[in-house]
Amino acid sequence: MAKKTLGISVKKSENFSEWYTQIVQKAELADYSTVKGCMVIRPNAYSIWEHIQDYFNERIKTLEVRNAYFPLFIPESFFKKEAEHAKGFKPEVAWIQNSGEELLAIRPTSETVMYDSYSKWVRSWKDLPLRINQWANVVRWETKATRLFLRTREFLWQEGHCVYETKKDCDKETRIYLDEYEKLCEELLSIPVLTGTKTEKEKFAGALYTLSIESLMPDGKALQMGTSHNLGQGFAKSFKIKYLNKKEQVDTPWQNSWGVSTRLIGALAMIHGDDRGLVLPPKVAYHQVAIVPILFEDSKKKVLKKANELKTKLKAHNPLVDDRDDYSPGWKFNEWELKGIPIRIELGPRDLQKKQVVLVRRDLNEKKHVKLTSLSKEIEKTLVDIQKNLLKKAKKHLEKNTVEVSHWQDFKKDIKNRKLVLAPFCGEKNCEEQIREKTDGAKSINIPFKQPKEIKEPCIQCKEKANFICRFAKSY
C-alpha cells in the first residue's frame, strides 16, 4: 500500500515555526478549519484539555468555586458600561445584528454579561463571597496571523469571576488563583512558569492590576499562560452591583476574574516536543502506554494473546495494543513516538520465551528489558520519572536563557538573542512604548513578585528612577 509521510520533516532547532505547525497537525492535536483563523481541536488535544479540566475543577472545588454557564451573546449596551474595558476589546469583538434587536457581541470574555446577573444576585454581605467559574468558548476576531492553539479566532478557556466584601479578600484570592495556575502548569503539564504583575501598559482593560504566569518557549519568545485580575470596584460600579454590609449600609464590592485557555496545549507541545514529535507528560497522556507486539506468522497468536493480557493488566494506564497487520513495527514505533505516548512496550516471540518485554521511554528514548513480573512497578516508576524529568529539563532551559542586565546596549543585544531579560524599569507607559520601538517588538512580560530591597540602577531605557526589576522579551 502507498504510505503517507509520517514524521516531521524539519528540525526543531532549525525551523521552529514550521516544526510547531507540523507537530500540531501530525500528532493530530488540531487542524485548520475552512473558516479562516479557526481550529478544529482533535481528540488527542481534547483529552489533554479534559485532564486540565479535571485537575482544575478539583482544585477550585476546594476553594468553594461553583461552575455555571452564561450566554455567548453580550448586548452592546453592556459593553459600553465599562469604558476602559470596551475600548480594550473593541478591535477584536465580532458582532451580530438581527433586525429589530440590539447589536450583540460574541463574548471575547464574560465580565459584562456575568456582572449584569451578579447585580441581581448580590444583595447582602451574606451573599459574599460569590465565586463562579465557567468553561466556555470565546471569540476574538484576530487580524494578526493566527497560529493553532496560540492565536485563533475562537478558543476554549475557563474564566472565574468572584465578588468580595473587601479589597483585602479580593487581593488575597486574586493571588491564590494565580498560584493554582502555577501548580497546574508545573504539576500537570511539567511547565515551569514565571509569576508576577503586569505593567500598566499590559494589564487587562478595566482592571486595577493583573497578575500573570508566563513561560519561555524554545524559540526564545515568552508566552502568557494565564492571568488573574483584581478588577477593583470599577465593574461593580458600572454594573450597579451593590450590597448591604454588616452595618446595614449600601456598599460596593470588589471583584476579580481569572483564566487559562487551550493555549496551554500549544505551550506543552512546544516545550516538550522534539524532532521525532510530541512528548506528553504522563499525567495528561490519554494512552500512557503503547504495546507493540512483534508479529511473525508462526508465533503471532501467542504474542497477541500476551499483548492483550498486558493490556488488561495495565488498564490503569489505558494502554493501546497496535495489532495492525499491514504496518511494520518500525512504522508503529515512529507513529506512537510522533504522538508522544510516554512509554512503548515491545513484545516479540523471544521476549515471550524469556518472560520479558522491551520498555522504551519517550522522553529519553532509553530502552531496557523488563521482566513481566516487575512490569507494573517499572511502568509506575518510569511515568513518575518522565513527569519530573520534563519539568527539570524545561526549568533548565528557562534558567539558561534568563539574564539580568543594567545597560541599554546589553539589553538590546540580549533581546535580539532571544533571551528573557530582567532589567530595572520605571514602569511608565511611554517608556515601554519606546523600548518596544527600539528593540523591534520587545514587551514587558511581568514584574516578579520578589524584588530587591533597593534598586540602584536607573530605568534601562529612560534613565529615570527605576521602580522595580521587570522581565522583558519578545513574545507571542
Q: Which is nearer to Zn ion, 105 or 426 (CB)?
A: 426
Cell representation of residue 197: 504583575
CA-based radius of gyration for the chain: 25
Stretch that binds Zn ion, among 106-114, 191-199, 278-286, 454-462 (CB under 5 A): 454-462
- Per DSSP, the three-state class of 40 is strand
- End-to-end CA separation in angstroms for the chain: 42
Q: Which is nearer to Zn ion, 343 or 459 (CB)?
A: 459
CB 205 within 8 A of CB 87: yes
Q: Which is nearer to Zn ion, 388 or 407 (CB)?
A: 407
Question: Any residues with CB less than 8 A from the CB of 475 and at least 6 apart, and which?
Answer: 221, 222, 223, 224, 443, 445
Q: Which is nearer to Zn ion, 294 or 459 (CB)?
A: 459
Q: Which is nearer to Zn ion, 284 or 473 (CB)?
A: 473
Q: Which of 368, 362, 415, 409 is nearest to 390 (CA)?
A: 362
CB 233 within 8 A of CB 253: yes
Stretch that binds Zn ion, among 103-111, 213-221, 263-271, 426-434 (CB under 5 A): 426-434
Amino acid at position 185, single letter = C
**Shortest gap between Cβ of 220 and Zn ion (angstroms)?**
23
CB 104 within 8 A of CB 73: yes
Q: Which is nearer to Zn ion, 46 or 468 (CB)?
A: 468
Q: Which is nearer to Zn ion, 440 or 464 (CB)?
A: 464
Under the criterion CB under 5 A, does residue 447 sit at the interface with Zn ion? no
Q: Which is nearer to Zn ion, 133 or 197 (CB)?
A: 197
Stretch that binds Zn ion, among 37-45, 338-346, 357-365, 421-429 (CB under 5 A): 421-429
Q: Which of 353, 279, 56 is nearest to 182 (CA)?
A: 56
Q: Which of 125, 333, 462, 467 binds Zn ion (CB under 5 A)?
A: 462
Stretch that binds Zn ion, among 45-53, 115-123, 324-332, 422-430 (CB under 5 A): 422-430
Polymer length of the chain: 476
- What is the torsional sign of CA 35, 39, 44, 49? negative
Q: Which is nearer to Zn ion, 335 or 432 (CB)?
A: 432
Stretch that binds Zn ion, among 284-292, 400-408, 409-417, 427-435 (CB under 5 A): 427-435
- Residues 114-133 interacting with Zn ion (rule: CB under 5 A): none
- 452: Cα separation from own chain's centroid: 29
Question: Any residues with CB less than 8 A from the CB of 456 and at least 6 apart, and which?
Answer: none
**Shortest gap between Cβ of 196 and Zn ion (angstroms)?**
18
**Shortest gap between Cβ of 407 and Zn ion (angstroms)?**
14
**Shortest gap between Cβ of 216 and Zn ion (angstroms)?**
23
**Shortest gap between Cβ of 468 and Zn ion (angstroms)?**
11
**Shortest gap between Cβ of 396 and Zn ion (angstroms)?**
32
**Shortest gap between Cβ of 410 and Zn ion (angstroms)?**
16
Q: How far apart are CA 282 and CA 314, in angstroms?
A: 14
* Neighbouring-strand partners of residue 181: none
- Per DSSP, the three-state class of 343 is strand
- 142: Cα separation from own chain's centroid: 19
Stretch that binds Zn ion, among 187-195, 358-366, 384-392, 461-469 (CB under 5 A): 461-469
Q: Which is nearer to Zn ion, 322 or 432 (CB)?
A: 432
- Per DSSP, the three-state class of 190 is coil
Strands 443-444 and 468-473: antiparallel
**Shortest gap between Cβ of 243 and Zn ion (angstroms)?**
41
Under the criterion CB under 5 A, does residue 72 sit at the interface with Zn ion? no
Q: Which is nearer to Zn ion, 106 or 442 (CB)?
A: 442
Question: Any residues with CB less than 8 A from the CB of 37 and at least 6 apart, and which?
Answer: 141, 142, 146, 152, 153
Under the criterion CB under 5 A, does residue 459 sit at the interface with Zn ion? yes
Count each helix (H run) and each strand (E run) in the chain, helices first.
14, 24
Strands 39-41 and 30-32: antiparallel
Contact characters 179-218, Zn ion, x per CB under 5 A: ----------------------------------------
Q: Which is nearer to Zn ion, 7 or 441 (CB)?
A: 441
Size of the site for Zn ion (CB under 5 A): 5
Under the criterion CB under 5 A, does residue 431 sit at the interface with Zn ion? yes
Q: How far apart are CA 476 and CA 474, in angstroms?
A: 7
Under the criterion CB under 5 A, does residue 426 sit at the interface with Zn ion? yes
- Per DSSP, the three-state class of 378 is helix
Under the criterion CB under 5 A, does residue 455 sit at the interface with Zn ion? no
Stretch that binds Zn ion, among 43-51, 84-92, 189-197, 418-426 (CB under 5 A): 418-426
Stretch that binds Zn ion, among 11-19, 192-200, 273-281, 456-464 (CB under 5 A): 456-464
By the criterion CB under 5 A, which residues form the site for Zn ion?
A: 426, 431, 459, 461-462
